[in-house]
């Protein structure tokens, strides 16, 4: 399986990092070795000193498809969960300054904690899903799917023009404002609506 992610998909987050609003979606990969499941702890690596949390709604792909029409995109995912797109902001800043890819800054081991997936029928309106991330009991990020510049179906349609999606792939759909560093000992708790889906520690 593979993990695909979209960057710069919430205007408020683009503003906080002083990035430009992209004319086309910014897409990147994380390898399957980035995944943490079942609330496993995140072990802070030694090659960065500025790991940021980016809380994101994630989609589970349930059938193979390429060149998917946005009208049919909803048939290609069957679960919504919460993920953290951990980003080594120091490595990313270096890469950005040189116009180089983000592979290591976004794809390092453990950089993709993912929750269980909730079935779509739990959500009466996919364009109105609230989610949030608390760190040590304090809310750091809050978002709603209606704030996305590219909604789910546009992300799926766009990516699948270039890259075939397969069952089991996961798509990270972008983070709202409030990203920031994590520290040893932090406890991260993530919610979709009122359901706690993530609860793990930084070690
Ligand atoms: Mg992100």
- How far, in Å, is the centroid of ligand 1 from the Cα of 6? 7
Q: May I ask the CATH class of domain 3-201?
A: alpha beta
End-to-end CA distance of the chain: 27
| pLDDT at residue 76 in the model | 98
Can you point out the beta strands (E) in the chain? Answer: 3-7, 26-30, 35-36, 51-53, 55-61, 77-84, 87-88, 112-113, 118-119, 130-135, 138-144, 170-172, 180-181, 187-192, 195-201
Mean pLDDT of the chain: 96
Calculate mean pLDDT across residues 98-116.
96
Give the residue from 160, 159, 169 showing the smallest Cα distance to 6.
159
Alpha helices in 86-165 (DSSP H): 89-97, 103-107, 152-162
- How far, in Å, is the centroid of ligand 1 from the Cα of 34? 14
| Per-domain boundaries in the chain | 3-201
In this prediction the pTM is 0.96
List residues, by chain if needed, whose CB lies under 5 Å from ion ligand 1: 54, 85, 175
| pLDDT at residue 38 in the model | 98
| pLDDT at residue 2 in the model | 98
- How far, in Å, is the centroid of ligand 1 from the Cα of 84? 8
Give the residue from 16, 71, 22 showing the smallest Cα distance to 8.
22
How far, in Å, CA of 26 to CA of 17, rounded? 15
- How far, in Å, is the centroid of ligand 1 from the Cα of 188? 16
Give the confidence band of 83 by pLDDT, cuts at 50, 70, 90: very high
């Amino acid at each position: 399986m593979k993990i695909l992610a979209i960057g710069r998909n919430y205007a408020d987050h683009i503003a906080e990092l002083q990035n430009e609003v992209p004319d086309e979606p910014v897409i990147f990969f994380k390898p399957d070795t980035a995944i943490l499941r079942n609330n496993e702890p995140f072990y802070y690596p030694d090659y960065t000193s500025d790991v940021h949390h980016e809380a994101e709604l994630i989609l589970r792909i349930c059938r193979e498809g390429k060149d998917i029409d946005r009208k049919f995109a909803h048939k290609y995912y069957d679960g919504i969960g919460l993920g953290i797109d951990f980003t080594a902001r120091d490595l990313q800043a270096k890469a950005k300054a040189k116009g180089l890819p983000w592979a290591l800054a976004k794809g390092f081991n453990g950089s993709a904690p993912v929750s269980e997936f909730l079935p779509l029928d739990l959500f009466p309106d996919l364009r109105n899903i609230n989610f949030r991330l608390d760190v040590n009991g304090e809310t750091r990020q809050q978002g709603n799917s209606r704030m996305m510049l590219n909604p789910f179906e546009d992300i799926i349609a766009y990516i699948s023009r270039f890259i075939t999606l397969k069952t089991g792939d996961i798509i990270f759909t972008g983070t709202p404002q409030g990203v920031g560093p994590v520290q040893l000992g932090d406890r991260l708790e993530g919610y979709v609506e009122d359901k706690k889906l993530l609860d793990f520690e930084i070690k």
